[in-house]
A and B are shown apart, each in its own frame.
Chain A
């Protein structure tokens, strides 16, 4: 069964009266990872937001459809959305600190998700929250549970947010530039964690990034988005080996000329 299906999605900006996203399609099945690569302003974040039902004020889905767990989301009521978000589809974004309440212990915020979504008892929710903090590879999860956002680093906050996002066992997790603000080493830790979650829980992932290399680490399939249009798509390995669009070629040549790839390829041969 498809966990998330986006078909020929168009998103229109009512104020600017322009189509910002034109014809994006992809399907996520359990355990599958799809990547969207594109610059800021290419429409990748709007696509994610449409799938979560949280498009900004004056943007609307003007054509196409989105199905979550086989159910068309057009015309879902607020209450139905609340039931869906978290327990079926969930997301993490670039700036984890702004999604957490600074005046509440981070563990309590995860426990709250569990209590609401899973109708768990207070004690049970707490136990689960500590388990989740351990599952996102935080050392000493019981201590982190008691801490506030300002006591944690950016990488730790992103883990906490991932723990909260997977607290209600969603089928789909969207990671929108989730590692962009992090140092390279922490970024690799988060990417490894996402790979683990997919392998262990069969989570379907939608990974969005401006960096093709980040996508290459994780994704089975990649969409290259430019100015709202998919200019290239395919199995990740195929796209990397035989890019057809000029923009994809630019992204690849950047890594080959200026990135680590320049040296690593020499090693391989």
Chain B
């Protein structure tokens, strides 16, 4: 098998004295979709930030696309990022797109930064808009003039413009309405790139993730194929998580089990 696109080995991250991630080990193979699930403050977003070089690792190592990025300097990071191997999609596209720049300008930024000519970049942007089901007319508009669902698809297109091998998505559908959630998930499912899909909501990840890793209080407590994790969760936290996700079936039967697990975890 080829080398994993992302190899996280025994990674720890601390903010000052506070340890946010502790001994996390995780591989992502090319083309694979991995869900990272955890509650607010569990450290799941810190994992993403570490992979992007936005926070330094205090221990362990990170390999992205065959390069050991753990000890990269600022300059090395900048050069590495310009290759566009890893891209990132934020939760809220209204805040992740510059309100003063047209959609076209936002879309092509990753290419312009690399020194690609504007005309070539715009041509590529037009081509990508089709893939995220958007009209090329949108290119001249400002982010404030299009809908939330369109904005998030613009953000996805922006992430794809460098043909990345790994796309990290942080709650990419949480801010969208039902129709756009389905649409964005559909688009994501078609991608060839490996996806690291971060969410607090197992429900939004379950449909497209091949594997789900659960982070609880800074530690990776379970990392298994999605179906296994949902049908036979092992760790107490995962069990509580699975029984807490609202589903269309009435869940009153799970009530006793939930109460038991809550007592267990808070002990």
> Which A residues form the contact surface with B (CB < 8 A)?
39-40, 139, 154, 183-189, 191-192, 195, 210-214, 216-217, 236, 240, 247, 250-264, 266-267
Q: Is B185 interfacial (CB-CB < 8 Å)? A: yes
Interface string of B221-240 (1 = CB under 8 A from A): 00000110011000000001
A259 and B206 within 8 A (CB): yes
> Which B residues form the contact surface with A (CB < 8 A)?
39-40, 177-179, 181-182, 185, 200-204, 206-208, 226-227, 230-231, 240-252, 255, 258-259, 262, 266
Interface of B, helix, strand, loop or mixed by DSSP: helix
Q: Given B182, B248, B255, which contacts A192 in the complex, CB threshold below 8 Å?
A: B255
In the assembled complex, the CB of A139 is this many whole angstroms from the nearest CB of chain B, namely 8
A261 and B231 within 8 A (CB): no
Q: What are 21 A-to-B residue pairs whose CB atoms are below 8 Å?
A: A40-B177, A139-B266, A184-B200, A184-B201, A185-B241, A188-B244, A189-B262, A212-B248, A213-B246, A216-B249, A217-B250, A217-B252, A250-B182, A256-B248, A258-B203, A258-B207, A258-B208, A260-B202, A260-B247, A264-B249, A266-B227
Q: A184-B200, A188-B246, A214-B246 are in contact. Are A260 and B181 (CB under 8 A)?
A: no
In the assembled complex, the CB of A211 is this many whole angstroms from the nearest CB of chain B, namely 7
Give the nearest-CB partner of B40 in chain A. A183
Q: Given B40, B201, B226, B240, which contacts A263 in the complex, CB threshold below 8 Å?
A: B226
Give the nearest-CB partner of A189 in chain B. B262
In whole angstroms, what is the CA distance A184 to B255 when docked? Answer: 14
Among A40, A188, A213, chain B packs the most CB atoms within 10 A around the CB of: A188
Q: Given B240, B244, B248, B252, which contacts A240 in the complex, CB threshold below 8 Å?
A: B248
Q: A184-B241, A250-B182, A254-B182 are in contact. Are A264 and B252 (CB under 8 A)?
A: no
B248 and A213 within 8 A (CB): yes
Q: Given A187, A191, A257, which contacts B207 in the complex, CB threshold below 8 Å?
A: A257
A217 and B251 within 8 A (CB): yes
Inter-chain contacts of B202 with A (CB < 8 A): 184, 260
In whole angstroms, what is the CA distance A206 to B255 when docked? Answer: 21
Seed contacts A262-B206, A263-B227; 4 additional CB < 8 Å A-B pairs: A184-B245, A214-B246, A240-B248, A250-B178
Q: A185-B240, A254-B178 are in contact. Are A263 and B248 (CB under 8 A)?
A: no
Among B178, B227, B241, B246, chain A packs the most CB atoms within 10 A around the CB of: B246
B177 and A260 within 8 A (CB): no
Q: A212-B248, A217-B251, A254-B178 are in contact. Are A185 and B207 (CB under 8 A)?
A: no
In whole angstroms, what is the CA distance A206 to B179 when docked? Answer: 24
B247 and A216 within 8 A (CB): yes
A39 and B206 within 8 A (CB): no
Inter-chain contacts of A240 with B (CB < 8 A): 248
In the assembled complex, the CB of B255 is this many whole angstroms from the nearest CB of chain A, namely 6
Give the nearest-CB partner of A236 in chain B. B250
In the assembled complex, the CB of A216 is this many whole angstroms from the nearest CB of chain B, namely 5
Inter-chain contacts of A186 with B (CB < 8 A): 39
B248 and A191 within 8 A (CB): no
In the assembled complex, the CB of B192 is this many whole angstroms from the nearest CB of chain A, namely 20
B231 and A254 within 8 A (CB): no
Q: Given A195, A210, A254, A267, which contacts B252 in the complex, CB threshold below 8 Å?
A: A195
